[in-house]
Amino acid sequence: MHDIVVVGGGPGGYATAFRAAARGLDVALVESDKVGGTCLHRGCIPSKALLHVAEVLEEVHRADIMGLKVSYEGLDGDALSGFRDGVITRMFKGLDFLVSKRTTRHAGRGRLLQGADGRVEVEVSAGDGSTTRVQGRHVVIATGSVPRGLPGVEIDGEVVQTSDHALWFTEPPARAVVIGAGAIGMEFASMWRPMGSEVTVVEALERVLPLEDTDSSAAIAKAYAARGIEVLTSARVQSVERDGDLARVEVEVDGERRVLEVDRVLVATGRGPNTADIGADELGLLDERGFVTTDEWGATKLDGVWAVGDVRPTLALAHAAFAEGFVVADRIALASGVEGDGLDAVQPVDHTHTPRVTYCHPEVASVGLTEAEAREAFGDAVATETSSFKHNAKGILAGTDGFVKVVHRTDGTPTGATGSGGPVVGVHIVGPHATDLIAEATLATTWEALPVELAAITHAHPSLYEAMGEAFQSAAGLPFHGA
Protein backbone atom coordinates (compact mmCIF):
# COMPACT_ATOMS: atom_id res chain seq x y z
CA MET A 1 0.00 0.00 0.00
CA HIS A 2 1.26 3.45 -0.93
CA ASP A 3 1.35 6.34 1.51
CA ILE A 4 -0.34 8.57 -1.09
CA VAL A 5 -2.17 7.99 -4.35
CA VAL A 6 -2.42 11.18 -6.40
CA VAL A 7 -5.09 11.20 -9.10
CA GLY A 8 -4.03 13.65 -11.81
CA GLY A 9 -0.61 14.60 -13.13
CA GLY A 10 -1.02 18.34 -13.67
CA PRO A 11 0.61 21.08 -11.56
CA GLY A 12 -1.38 20.33 -8.41
CA GLY A 13 -0.86 16.61 -8.75
CA TYR A 14 2.86 16.54 -9.41
CA ALA A 15 3.52 19.28 -6.84
CA THR A 16 1.81 17.11 -4.22
CA ALA A 17 3.69 14.02 -5.40
CA PHE A 18 7.11 15.68 -5.47
CA ARG A 19 6.74 17.30 -2.04
CA ALA A 20 5.48 14.04 -0.52
CA ALA A 21 8.39 12.14 -2.06
CA ALA A 22 10.79 14.74 -0.69
CA ARG A 23 9.29 14.07 2.74
CA GLY A 24 10.14 10.40 2.35
CA LEU A 25 6.66 9.09 1.54
CA ASP A 26 5.82 6.40 -1.01
CA VAL A 27 3.79 7.99 -3.80
CA ALA A 28 1.70 6.63 -6.66
CA LEU A 29 0.61 8.94 -9.48
CA VAL A 30 -2.39 8.13 -11.68
CA GLU A 31 -2.63 9.94 -15.03
CA SER A 32 -4.45 9.04 -18.23
CA ASP A 33 -2.47 11.45 -20.43
CA LYS A 34 1.01 12.92 -20.41
CA VAL A 35 2.08 14.38 -17.09
CA GLY A 36 1.97 18.16 -16.99
CA GLY A 37 -1.77 18.57 -17.41
CA THR A 38 -3.55 21.38 -19.19
CA CYS A 39 -0.90 23.91 -18.15
CA LEU A 40 1.97 22.22 -19.96
CA HIS A 41 0.16 20.71 -22.93
CA ARG A 42 -2.90 22.88 -23.67
CA GLY A 43 -2.59 26.05 -21.63
CA CYS A 44 0.11 28.04 -19.86
CA ILE A 45 3.18 26.87 -21.74
CA PRO A 46 2.03 26.71 -25.39
CA SER A 47 0.16 29.99 -24.98
CA LYS A 48 3.25 31.71 -23.57
CA ALA A 49 5.32 30.39 -26.46
CA LEU A 50 2.89 31.95 -28.93
CA LEU A 51 2.63 35.15 -26.90
CA HIS A 52 6.42 35.41 -27.08
CA VAL A 53 6.14 35.23 -30.87
CA ALA A 54 3.55 38.01 -30.70
CA GLU A 55 5.86 40.05 -28.47
CA VAL A 56 8.68 39.75 -31.00
CA LEU A 57 6.25 40.84 -33.73
CA GLU A 58 5.31 43.91 -31.69
CA GLU A 59 8.97 44.88 -31.70
CA VAL A 60 9.22 44.23 -35.45
CA HIS A 61 6.26 46.53 -36.05
CA ARG A 62 7.98 49.38 -34.17
CA ALA A 63 11.51 48.66 -35.39
CA ASP A 64 11.53 51.70 -37.68
CA ILE A 65 11.47 54.14 -34.77
CA MET A 66 14.73 52.56 -33.58
CA GLY A 67 16.34 52.96 -36.98
CA LEU A 68 15.96 49.33 -38.00
CA LYS A 69 14.85 48.55 -41.54
CA VAL A 70 12.86 45.36 -40.96
CA SER A 71 9.92 44.00 -42.93
CA TYR A 72 7.38 41.40 -41.84
CA GLU A 73 6.53 38.89 -44.55
CA GLY A 74 4.17 36.68 -42.56
CA LEU A 75 4.26 33.52 -40.49
CA ASP A 76 5.87 30.21 -41.37
CA GLY A 77 3.23 27.93 -39.87
CA ASP A 78 5.44 24.86 -39.69
CA ALA A 79 8.24 26.75 -37.98
CA LEU A 80 5.77 28.36 -35.59
CA SER A 81 4.41 24.93 -34.64
CA GLY A 82 7.92 23.60 -34.23
CA PHE A 83 8.87 26.42 -31.89
CA ARG A 84 5.73 26.01 -29.75
CA ASP A 85 5.97 22.22 -29.63
CA GLY A 86 9.69 22.32 -28.92
CA VAL A 87 9.11 24.33 -25.76
CA ILE A 88 6.45 21.87 -24.61
CA THR A 89 8.62 18.84 -25.39
CA ARG A 90 11.64 20.20 -23.56
CA MET A 91 9.65 20.89 -20.41
CA PHE A 92 7.76 17.60 -20.64
CA LYS A 93 10.91 15.49 -20.87
CA GLY A 94 12.29 17.00 -17.68
CA LEU A 95 9.01 16.59 -15.82
CA ASP A 96 8.46 13.05 -17.08
CA PHE A 97 11.92 12.05 -15.86
CA LEU A 98 11.22 13.43 -12.38
CA VAL A 99 7.86 11.66 -12.17
CA SER A 100 9.53 8.37 -13.10
CA LYS A 101 12.20 8.86 -10.45
CA ARG A 102 9.96 9.98 -7.60
CA THR A 103 6.69 8.08 -8.02
CA THR A 104 5.13 4.80 -9.04
CA ARG A 105 3.19 5.70 -12.15
CA HIS A 106 -0.15 4.19 -13.17
CA ALA A 107 -1.29 5.04 -16.71
CA GLY A 108 -5.06 5.32 -16.97
CA ARG A 109 -8.09 7.20 -15.76
CA GLY A 110 -8.55 7.12 -12.00
CA ARG A 111 -11.88 6.67 -10.26
CA LEU A 112 -12.41 6.77 -6.51
CA LEU A 113 -14.24 3.80 -4.96
CA GLN A 114 -15.11 2.76 -1.43
CA GLY A 115 -13.06 -0.34 -0.63
CA ALA A 116 -14.24 -3.34 1.35
CA ASP A 117 -12.50 -2.04 4.47
CA GLY A 118 -14.13 1.38 4.09
CA ARG A 119 -10.95 2.99 2.80
CA VAL A 120 -11.16 4.94 -0.46
CA GLU A 121 -9.27 3.22 -3.26
CA VAL A 122 -8.50 4.25 -6.84
CA GLU A 123 -9.57 2.12 -9.77
CA VAL A 124 -7.35 2.77 -12.78
CA SER A 125 -8.83 2.10 -16.22
CA ALA A 126 -6.10 1.70 -18.82
CA GLY A 127 -6.43 2.37 -22.53
CA ASP A 128 -6.66 -1.35 -23.32
CA GLY A 129 -9.76 -1.72 -21.14
CA SER A 130 -8.03 -3.39 -18.21
CA THR A 131 -8.49 -2.14 -14.66
CA THR A 132 -6.38 -2.24 -11.52
CA ARG A 133 -6.96 -1.14 -7.95
CA VAL A 134 -4.41 1.14 -6.34
CA GLN A 135 -4.49 1.56 -2.57
CA GLY A 136 -3.07 4.34 -0.47
CA ARG A 137 -3.40 5.58 3.08
CA HIS A 138 -4.25 8.93 1.54
CA VAL A 139 -5.83 9.83 -1.81
CA VAL A 140 -5.41 13.26 -3.40
CA ILE A 141 -7.80 14.45 -6.13
CA ALA A 142 -5.94 16.66 -8.62
CA THR A 143 -7.82 16.19 -11.88
CA GLY A 144 -7.75 19.85 -12.91
CA SER A 145 -10.27 21.72 -15.02
CA VAL A 146 -11.93 21.81 -18.43
CA PRO A 147 -13.11 24.75 -20.58
CA ARG A 148 -16.62 25.97 -19.91
CA GLY A 149 -18.92 26.24 -22.88
CA LEU A 150 -21.59 28.83 -23.59
CA PRO A 151 -25.25 27.79 -23.55
CA GLY A 152 -26.62 27.55 -27.07
CA VAL A 153 -23.19 27.67 -28.70
CA GLU A 154 -21.92 24.50 -30.39
CA ILE A 155 -18.16 24.16 -30.10
CA ASP A 156 -16.89 22.26 -33.14
CA GLY A 157 -13.16 22.69 -32.53
CA GLU A 158 -12.61 24.12 -36.01
CA VAL A 159 -14.34 27.47 -36.42
CA VAL A 160 -15.88 27.68 -32.95
CA GLN A 161 -13.19 26.76 -30.43
CA THR A 162 -12.09 26.79 -26.83
CA SER A 163 -8.50 27.35 -25.72
CA ASP A 164 -7.97 23.58 -25.99
CA HIS A 165 -8.28 23.92 -29.78
CA ALA A 166 -7.16 27.46 -30.49
CA LEU A 167 -3.47 27.07 -29.69
CA TRP A 168 -2.73 24.74 -32.57
CA PHE A 169 -3.07 27.09 -35.53
CA THR A 170 -0.48 27.33 -38.28
CA GLU A 171 -2.14 30.45 -39.66
CA PRO A 172 -3.82 33.08 -37.50
CA PRO A 173 -7.46 33.93 -38.17
CA ALA A 174 -8.18 36.83 -40.50
CA ARG A 175 -11.10 37.90 -38.32
CA ALA A 176 -11.83 36.59 -34.83
CA VAL A 177 -14.38 37.08 -32.09
CA VAL A 178 -13.23 36.33 -28.56
CA ILE A 179 -16.10 35.71 -26.15
CA GLY A 180 -14.90 36.58 -22.68
CA ALA A 181 -12.44 39.24 -21.50
CA GLY A 182 -10.79 37.32 -18.70
CA ALA A 183 -7.15 36.30 -18.80
CA ILE A 184 -7.55 33.63 -21.50
CA GLY A 185 -9.60 35.78 -23.85
CA MET A 186 -7.41 38.84 -23.47
CA GLU A 187 -4.25 36.83 -24.06
CA PHE A 188 -5.57 35.34 -27.31
CA ALA A 189 -6.67 38.77 -28.53
CA SER A 190 -3.22 40.11 -27.71
CA MET A 191 -1.57 37.16 -29.47
CA TRP A 192 -3.53 37.32 -32.70
CA ARG A 193 -3.51 41.09 -33.27
CA PRO A 194 0.21 41.55 -34.13
CA MET A 195 -0.08 38.52 -36.41
CA GLY A 196 -2.50 40.52 -38.54
CA SER A 197 -5.86 39.37 -37.18
CA GLU A 198 -8.81 41.71 -36.79
CA VAL A 199 -10.10 40.94 -33.30
CA THR A 200 -13.29 41.81 -31.43
CA VAL A 201 -13.56 40.94 -27.74
CA VAL A 202 -17.08 40.53 -26.33
CA GLU A 203 -17.52 40.75 -22.56
CA ALA A 204 -20.84 40.48 -20.70
CA LEU A 205 -19.60 42.47 -17.70
CA GLU A 206 -18.93 46.17 -17.75
CA ARG A 207 -15.14 45.98 -17.99
CA VAL A 208 -12.33 43.75 -19.23
CA LEU A 209 -10.33 41.69 -16.73
CA PRO A 210 -13.22 42.14 -14.29
CA LEU A 211 -11.38 40.55 -11.35
CA GLU A 212 -8.56 43.10 -11.54
CA ASP A 213 -8.45 46.60 -10.08
CA THR A 214 -10.60 49.04 -12.04
CA ASP A 215 -7.54 51.12 -12.95
CA SER A 216 -5.89 48.05 -14.48
CA SER A 217 -9.02 47.25 -16.48
CA ALA A 218 -9.23 50.81 -17.78
CA ALA A 219 -5.56 50.85 -18.77
CA ILE A 220 -5.84 47.60 -20.73
CA ALA A 221 -9.03 48.72 -22.48
CA LYS A 222 -7.22 51.89 -23.57
CA ALA A 223 -4.15 49.95 -24.71
CA TYR A 224 -6.24 47.51 -26.73
CA ALA A 225 -8.10 50.34 -28.43
CA ALA A 226 -4.75 51.88 -29.40
CA ARG A 227 -3.68 48.52 -30.87
CA GLY A 228 -6.81 48.29 -32.98
CA ILE A 229 -8.52 45.58 -30.92
CA GLU A 230 -12.25 46.23 -30.62
CA VAL A 231 -13.63 45.61 -27.13
CA LEU A 232 -17.38 45.41 -26.49
CA THR A 233 -18.31 45.44 -22.80
CA SER A 234 -21.78 44.98 -21.28
CA ALA A 235 -22.39 42.94 -24.42
CA ARG A 236 -24.32 39.69 -24.79
CA VAL A 237 -23.80 37.02 -27.41
CA GLN A 238 -27.23 36.12 -28.77
CA SER A 239 -26.20 33.40 -31.20
CA VAL A 240 -23.28 31.79 -33.00
CA GLU A 241 -24.06 30.11 -36.32
CA ARG A 242 -21.50 28.35 -38.46
CA ASP A 243 -21.68 28.77 -42.22
CA GLY A 244 -18.98 26.71 -43.92
CA ASP A 245 -15.58 28.07 -42.94
CA LEU A 246 -17.15 31.14 -41.31
CA ALA A 247 -19.32 31.91 -38.31
CA ARG A 248 -21.88 34.63 -37.73
CA VAL A 249 -21.91 35.99 -34.20
CA GLU A 250 -24.91 38.06 -33.16
CA VAL A 251 -24.14 40.42 -30.29
CA GLU A 252 -26.39 42.79 -28.36
CA VAL A 253 -24.60 45.89 -27.11
CA ASP A 254 -26.02 49.26 -26.05
CA GLY A 255 -29.50 48.05 -26.95
CA GLU A 256 -28.53 47.33 -30.54
CA ARG A 257 -27.75 44.10 -32.33
CA ARG A 258 -24.64 43.58 -34.42
CA VAL A 259 -23.70 40.63 -36.59
CA LEU A 260 -20.00 39.85 -36.86
CA GLU A 261 -18.85 37.51 -39.63
CA VAL A 262 -15.58 35.85 -38.70
CA ASP A 263 -13.46 32.80 -39.44
CA ARG A 264 -12.69 32.05 -35.78
CA VAL A 265 -14.75 32.20 -32.60
CA LEU A 266 -12.98 31.61 -29.30
CA VAL A 267 -15.22 30.78 -26.36
CA ALA A 268 -13.17 31.94 -23.37
CA THR A 269 -15.82 32.06 -20.67
CA GLY A 270 -13.76 30.36 -18.00
CA ARG A 271 -13.00 26.85 -16.84
CA GLY A 272 -14.80 24.42 -14.56
CA PRO A 273 -13.69 21.50 -12.38
CA ASN A 274 -12.84 18.24 -14.12
CA THR A 275 -14.69 16.02 -11.66
CA ALA A 276 -17.13 14.12 -13.90
CA ASP A 277 -16.86 10.33 -13.69
CA ILE A 278 -14.07 10.22 -11.12
CA GLY A 279 -16.25 8.82 -8.34
CA ALA A 280 -16.19 11.98 -6.22
CA ASP A 281 -19.90 12.67 -6.73
CA GLU A 282 -20.89 9.17 -5.61
CA LEU A 283 -18.83 9.66 -2.46
CA GLY A 284 -20.64 12.94 -1.72
CA LEU A 285 -17.56 15.12 -2.16
CA LEU A 286 -18.87 17.63 -4.72
CA ASP A 287 -20.82 20.86 -4.32
CA GLU A 288 -23.59 22.00 -6.64
CA ARG A 289 -21.06 23.42 -9.13
CA GLY A 290 -18.99 20.25 -9.30
CA PHE A 291 -16.10 21.44 -7.11
CA VAL A 292 -14.64 19.20 -4.42
CA THR A 293 -15.61 20.50 -0.99
CA THR A 294 -12.67 20.76 1.40
CA ASP A 295 -11.59 22.57 4.52
CA GLU A 296 -8.87 25.23 4.41
CA TRP A 297 -6.19 22.54 4.38
CA GLY A 298 -7.61 20.70 1.37
CA ALA A 299 -9.09 17.82 3.39
CA THR A 300 -12.51 16.46 2.39
CA LYS A 301 -15.11 15.04 4.77
CA LEU A 302 -13.75 11.53 4.12
CA ASP A 303 -10.76 10.57 6.21
CA GLY A 304 -7.62 10.43 4.11
CA VAL A 305 -9.13 12.03 0.99
CA TRP A 306 -7.81 15.43 -0.11
CA ALA A 307 -8.05 17.77 -3.10
CA VAL A 308 -5.78 20.36 -4.68
CA GLY A 309 -5.86 22.73 -7.64
CA ASP A 310 -8.68 23.57 -10.02
CA VAL A 311 -11.06 20.98 -8.56
CA ARG A 312 -11.34 23.26 -5.52
CA PRO A 313 -13.23 26.59 -5.71
CA THR A 314 -10.07 28.61 -5.12
CA LEU A 315 -7.86 30.34 -7.69
CA ALA A 316 -7.66 28.38 -10.96
CA LEU A 317 -3.96 29.04 -11.46
CA ALA A 318 -1.08 26.60 -11.82
CA HIS A 319 0.96 28.27 -9.09
CA ALA A 320 -2.07 28.24 -6.78
CA ALA A 321 -2.26 24.49 -7.37
CA PHE A 322 1.46 24.17 -6.59
CA ALA A 323 0.95 25.94 -3.27
CA GLU A 324 -2.06 23.81 -2.33
CA GLY A 325 -0.19 20.65 -3.29
CA PHE A 326 2.76 21.52 -1.06
CA VAL A 327 0.47 22.13 1.91
CA VAL A 328 -1.53 18.93 1.43
CA ALA A 329 1.65 16.86 1.07
CA ASP A 330 3.08 18.41 4.22
CA ARG A 331 -0.13 17.75 6.17
CA ILE A 332 -0.11 14.14 5.03
CA ALA A 333 3.55 13.82 6.02
CA LEU A 334 2.73 15.21 9.46
CA ALA A 335 -0.17 12.77 9.81
CA SER A 336 2.14 9.96 8.70
CA GLY A 337 4.58 10.57 11.52
CA VAL A 338 7.25 12.47 9.61
CA GLU A 339 9.07 14.80 12.00
CA GLY A 340 11.09 17.98 11.69
CA ASP A 341 11.65 20.37 8.79
CA GLY A 342 9.06 22.80 10.13
CA LEU A 343 6.09 20.55 9.38
CA ASP A 344 4.27 21.65 12.52
CA ALA A 345 4.50 25.28 11.34
CA VAL A 346 2.84 24.73 7.93
CA GLN A 347 -0.12 27.05 7.35
CA PRO A 348 -3.06 26.86 4.93
CA VAL A 349 -2.64 28.71 1.64
CA ASP A 350 -3.91 32.29 1.82
CA HIS A 351 -4.72 33.07 -1.79
CA THR A 352 -5.00 36.76 -1.00
CA HIS A 353 -1.23 36.67 -1.43
CA THR A 354 -1.21 34.52 -4.56
CA PRO A 355 -0.16 36.68 -7.54
CA ARG A 356 -2.53 36.91 -10.50
CA VAL A 357 -0.95 37.43 -13.91
CA THR A 358 -2.19 38.03 -17.45
CA TYR A 359 0.36 37.80 -20.26
CA CYS A 360 -1.27 40.25 -22.65
CA HIS A 361 0.43 43.34 -24.09
CA PRO A 362 0.99 45.26 -21.91
CA GLU A 363 1.13 42.69 -19.15
CA VAL A 364 -1.09 42.81 -16.08
CA ALA A 365 -0.25 41.51 -12.62
CA SER A 366 -1.66 41.95 -9.15
CA VAL A 367 -1.49 40.60 -5.63
CA GLY A 368 -3.58 41.28 -2.57
CA LEU A 369 -6.70 43.44 -2.52
CA THR A 370 -8.01 45.77 -5.19
CA GLU A 371 -8.70 49.32 -4.08
CA ALA A 372 -12.43 48.57 -3.94
CA GLU A 373 -11.87 45.42 -1.86
CA ALA A 374 -9.58 47.30 0.52
CA ARG A 375 -12.13 50.07 1.04
CA GLU A 376 -14.82 47.48 1.68
CA ALA A 377 -12.58 45.82 4.27
CA PHE A 378 -11.03 48.86 5.95
CA GLY A 379 -13.35 51.77 5.13
CA ASP A 380 -11.74 55.17 4.80
CA ALA A 381 -8.44 53.99 6.28
CA VAL A 382 -7.10 53.22 2.80
CA ALA A 383 -4.86 55.20 0.46
CA THR A 384 -3.30 54.54 -2.94
CA GLU A 385 -0.18 55.74 -4.70
CA THR A 386 0.73 55.25 -8.35
CA SER A 387 4.05 55.40 -10.19
CA SER A 388 3.89 55.61 -13.98
CA PHE A 389 6.13 53.80 -16.45
CA LYS A 390 5.63 56.82 -18.70
CA HIS A 391 8.45 58.53 -16.80
CA ASN A 392 10.58 55.41 -16.34
CA ALA A 393 13.56 55.03 -18.69
CA LYS A 394 13.11 51.29 -19.23
CA GLY A 395 9.37 51.81 -19.61
CA ILE A 396 9.98 54.38 -22.34
CA LEU A 397 12.31 51.95 -24.12
CA ALA A 398 9.64 49.25 -23.96
CA GLY A 399 7.21 51.54 -25.75
CA THR A 400 4.24 50.86 -23.50
CA ASP A 401 2.51 52.93 -20.87
CA GLY A 402 1.49 51.52 -17.53
CA PHE A 403 1.88 51.93 -13.81
CA VAL A 404 2.50 50.43 -10.41
CA LYS A 405 -0.36 51.09 -8.00
CA VAL A 406 0.09 50.47 -4.29
CA VAL A 407 -2.92 50.06 -2.01
CA HIS A 408 -2.16 50.46 1.69
CA ARG A 409 -3.89 51.06 4.97
CA THR A 410 -3.49 54.37 6.75
CA ASP A 411 -4.11 52.76 10.14
CA GLY A 412 -2.48 49.70 11.66
CA THR A 413 1.04 51.17 11.83
CA PRO A 414 2.90 49.28 14.60
CA THR A 415 3.82 51.23 17.73
CA GLY A 416 7.21 52.83 17.34
CA ALA A 417 7.22 52.65 13.52
CA THR A 418 7.95 55.79 11.56
CA GLY A 419 5.93 57.03 8.62
CA SER A 420 2.18 57.46 8.22
CA GLY A 421 1.53 54.55 5.86
CA GLY A 422 0.00 51.38 7.23
CA PRO A 423 0.64 47.91 5.80
CA VAL A 424 0.58 47.35 2.03
CA VAL A 425 -2.51 45.26 1.22
CA GLY A 426 -2.44 45.26 -2.58
CA VAL A 427 -0.24 46.03 -5.58
CA HIS A 428 -1.41 46.30 -9.19
CA ILE A 429 0.88 46.56 -12.20
CA VAL A 430 0.18 47.22 -15.87
CA GLY A 431 3.19 47.44 -18.14
CA PRO A 432 6.28 45.69 -19.47
CA HIS A 433 7.30 42.57 -17.51
CA ALA A 434 4.54 43.12 -14.96
CA THR A 435 4.31 39.36 -14.49
CA ASP A 436 7.92 39.34 -13.25
CA LEU A 437 7.79 42.60 -11.28
CA ILE A 438 4.94 41.28 -9.13
CA ALA A 439 7.43 39.16 -7.15
CA GLU A 440 8.54 42.05 -4.93
CA ALA A 441 4.93 43.04 -4.38
CA THR A 442 4.05 39.49 -3.32
CA LEU A 443 6.65 39.69 -0.56
CA ALA A 444 5.32 43.09 0.50
CA THR A 445 1.71 41.97 0.91
CA THR A 446 2.57 38.57 2.40
CA TRP A 447 4.76 40.13 5.07
CA GLU A 448 2.34 43.05 5.61
CA ALA A 449 5.27 45.37 5.10
CA LEU A 450 5.02 49.09 5.76
CA PRO A 451 5.66 51.56 2.92
CA VAL A 452 8.43 53.21 4.94
CA GLU A 453 10.21 49.85 5.23
CA LEU A 454 9.86 49.17 1.52
CA ALA A 455 10.93 52.72 0.63
CA ALA A 456 14.29 52.02 2.26
CA ILE A 457 15.07 49.27 -0.26
CA THR A 458 17.51 50.36 -2.98
CA HIS A 459 16.22 49.67 -6.49
CA ALA A 460 18.57 49.56 -9.48
CA HIS A 461 18.54 52.45 -11.94
CA PRO A 462 17.59 52.38 -14.70
CA SER A 463 15.17 49.52 -14.19
CA LEU A 464 11.49 48.80 -14.46
CA TYR A 465 11.20 47.78 -10.85
CA GLU A 466 12.36 51.16 -9.57
CA ALA A 467 8.79 52.24 -10.37
CA MET A 468 7.78 49.93 -7.54
CA GLY A 469 10.24 51.65 -5.24
CA GLU A 470 8.90 55.08 -6.16
CA ALA A 471 5.33 53.96 -5.46
CA PHE A 472 6.41 52.71 -2.02
CA GLN A 473 8.24 55.99 -1.38
CA SER A 474 5.11 57.97 -2.22
CA ALA A 475 3.03 55.72 0.04
CA ALA A 476 5.50 56.46 2.84
CA GLY A 477 5.01 60.20 2.31
CA LEU A 478 8.43 60.53 0.68
CA PRO A 479 7.74 61.07 -3.04
CA PHE A 480 10.87 61.08 -5.18
CA HIS A 481 9.69 62.67 -8.43
CA GLY A 482 6.20 63.68 -7.32
CA ALA A 483 5.26 67.16 -6.26
- Which residues are known binding-site members for NAD(+)? 180-187, 203, 270
Q: Which residues contact 235 (CB under 8 A, 6 or more apart)?
A: 202, 203, 204, 251, 252, 253
Distance CA 331, CA 214 (A): 38
- Which residues are known binding-site members? 48, 110, 143-145, 180-187, 203, 270, 310
Any catalytic annotation for residue 428?
Answer: no
Going from the C-alpha of 353 to that of each of 155, 255, 423, 441, 442, the distances in angstroms are 36, 40, 13, 9, 6
Handedness of CA 177, 179, 182, 185 (dihedral sign): negative
CB 91 within 8 A of CB 36: yes
351, 391, 461, 481: which is the annotated catalytic residue? 461
Helices (H), 123-282: 163-166, 183-192, 214-226
- Which residues are known binding-site members for FAD? 48, 110, 143-145, 310
Going from the C-alpha of 418 to that of each of 424, 455, 456, 477, 478, the distances in angstroms are 15, 12, 12, 11, 12
Distance CA 396, CA 90 (A): 34
Distance CA 292, CA 290 (A): 7
Q: How many CB atoms lie within 10 A of CB 32?
A: 17
| Length of the chain (residues) | 483
- The CA-CA-CA angle for residues 450, 451, 455, to 5°, reads 125
Catalytic residues: 461
